[in-house]
Amino acid sequence: MTSESVSPQEAQRLIEQGAVLIDIRDRAEYLREHIPYALSLPLADITADKTVVSAERQPVIFHCLTGMRTAQNAHVLTKAASPAPVLLMAGGINAWKSAGLPTIEDKKQPLPVMRQVQIVAGTLILTGVVLGYTIDSRLFLLSGFVGAGLLFAGLSGLCGMASLLLKMPWNRPAK
C-alpha cells in the first residue's frame, strides 16, 4: 500500500468527512501549536511499533512541520495505519497556516528544544566572533567549541546542549 500527498485544503475537506489527522511531531511541538482535531502521535512512538488509533478504514492523514518527516517515513506510517488508506499532508502545518487554515496555539508552552538549541548555539557563536574581534582572539575558541559540539551532535545523534536545555525550568509544560 502506498501513500499519496494531499494539500491542506483537501486534508481539511477529508477531515470534515471523517478522516483522522495525526500529528507526528514531538509532543512539545504539538502542545505549542497544532491543527484542530489533530491527534498527537509522535514519530518516535510510531517507529517503536506502537500502533495508530484504529481509523475503521477512514483515511489517515499524517502531518509534521514541513512535510519532510512524513515523506521520509511514509513506509513506516503506511504500515502503522494499515489497512486504512494513508495520506501525507504536503507542506505540513506550515502549509496549513499558509493556506489561512486555523490552528490552536498555546504560547505558554516552551519552544521546541531544537529551536532553543539553534538560538543558544547561534548566540554563543555570534558572541564568540564579536568578542574575538573586539577583546581577545582567544575568544574565537567559544565559537569553535560550539561548532565542535554541533558536529558531534550531528554525527552521534547525542546533543549535550539539548539535554541541558530540557532540564531548564522553562521547559516544563505549562499547565
Give this prediction's pTM: 0.73
Same domain, 131 and 160: yes
Measure the CA–CA gap between 51 and 44, rounded to whole angstroms.
11
pLDDT (tens digit per residue) in 27-44: 888 998 999 999 999 988
- Residue 68 CB: number of other CB atoms within 10 A? 11
The residue from 105, 135, 155 where one domain ends is 105
Q: Tell me what the mean pLDDT of segment 139-146 comes to.
A: 95
Catalytic residue flag (residue 64): yes
Mean pLDDT of all residues in 5-17: 95
Q: What is the pLDDT of residues 79-133, one digit of tens each?
A: 888 888 899 999 999 999 999 999 999 888 888 888 889 999 999 999 999 999 9
Specify the pairing of strand 33-34 against strand 104-105: antiparallel
Mean pLDDT across the chain:
89
**56 with 21, same domain?**
yes
Q: Considering 105, 124, 150, which residue would you say is the last residue of a domain? A: 105
Residues 98 and 117 in one domain: no
Residue 83 belongs to domain with CATH number = 3.40.250.10
Residues 6+ apart with CB under 8 A from 30: 23, 38, 40, 42
What are the backbone dihedrals phi and psi of residue 59, each rounded to the nearest 5 degrees, phi first? -60, 145
Residues 30 and 98 in one domain: yes
Catalytic residue, candidates 14, 64, 93, 165: 64
Query: Is 161 found in the same domain as 139?
Result: yes
What pLDDT band is residue 175 in, cutting at 50, 70 and 90? low
Whether residues 101 and 120 share a domain: the answer is no
Residues 65, 91: contact at Cβ < 8 Å? Answer: no
Query: What does the alpha-carbon distance between residue 9 and residue 95 come to, in Å, rounded to a whole number?
Result: 10
Give residue 158's domain range: 113-171
Among the candidates 105, 126, 152, a domain finishes at 105
Task: Show the cell assigned to 155.
Answer: 554525527
